[in-house]
Structure 1
Amino acid sequence: MLNPSYPLRTDRLTLRPFTEDDLHPLHAIHRLPEVARYLYGEPHDLEQTRASLAKKATSAALTDEGQALSLAVQLTATGELIGDATLFWHSRTHRSGEIGYSFHPGHHGNGYATETARVLLRLGFEELGLHRITGRLDGRNHASARVLERLGMRREAHLVENEFVKGEWTDEVIYAMLRREWDAHPLTKESP
Structure 2
Amino acid sequence: MLVPDLPLRTDRLVLRAFTADDLAALTAYRSRPEVTRYLYHEPYDDAAAAAAIERLRGRTEVRAPGDVLNLAMVLPATGELVGDVLLTWASGEHQQGEIGYVLHPDHTGRGYVTEAAREMLRLGFEGLGLHRIVGRLDARNSASARVLERLGMRREAHLRENEFVKGEWTDEVVYAMLGREWRARLTAD
TM-score band w.r.t. shorter chain: over 0.9
2:30 corresponding residue in structure 1: 30
Q: Which moved more, 1:178-187 or 1:134-143?
A: 178-187
Q: Indicate conservation of the 8 Å contact 1:12/1:77, yes or no.
A: no
**Deviation (angstroms), 1:77:** 1.4
1:70 corresponding residue in structure 2: 70
Question: Per the alignment, in what secondary structure is the counterpart of residue 98 of structure 1?
Answer: strand
Q: Per the alignment, do residues 75 and 91 of structure 1 end up closer, same or farther by CA in structure 2, a change over 3 Å counting?
A: same
Q: Identity across aligned pairs (percent)?
A: 62
1:174 aligns with 2:174: yes
Q: Indicate conservation of the 8 Å contact 1:74/1:80, yes or no.
A: yes
Aligned ranges for residues 128-147 of structure 1 at < 5 Å?
128-147=128-147
Deviations 1:83-128 (A, max 9, x none): 0111000111111100000000010111011001100000000011
Question: Per the alignment, in what secondary structure is the counterpart of residue 101 of structure 1?
Answer: strand
CA distance in 1, matches of 2:153, 2:16: 24
**Deviation (angstroms), 1:20:** 0.7
Question: Per the alignment, in what secondary structure is the counterpart of residue 185 of structure 1?
Answer: helix
TM-score for both structures, normalised by structure 2: 0.97
Q: Which runs of 5+ in 2 are unaligned?
A: none
CA distance in 2, matches of 1:175, 1:130: 15
Alpha-carbon RMSD across the aligned residues, in angstroms, is: 1.2
Q: How many residues align?
A: 189
1:112 aligns with 2:112: yes
1:156 aligns with 2:156: yes
CA distance in 2, matches of 1:124, 1:186: 14
CA distance in 2, matches of 1:166, 1:47: 19
CA distance in 2, matches of 1:86, 1:10: 15
CA distance in 2, matches of 1:116, 1:176: 17
1:89 corresponding residue in structure 2: 89
**Deviation (angstroms), 1:151:** 0.7
Q: Per the alignment, do residues 188 and 83 of structure 1 end up closer, same or farther by CA in structure 2, a change over 3 Å counting?
A: farther
Q: Which runs of 5+ in 1 are unaligned?
A: none
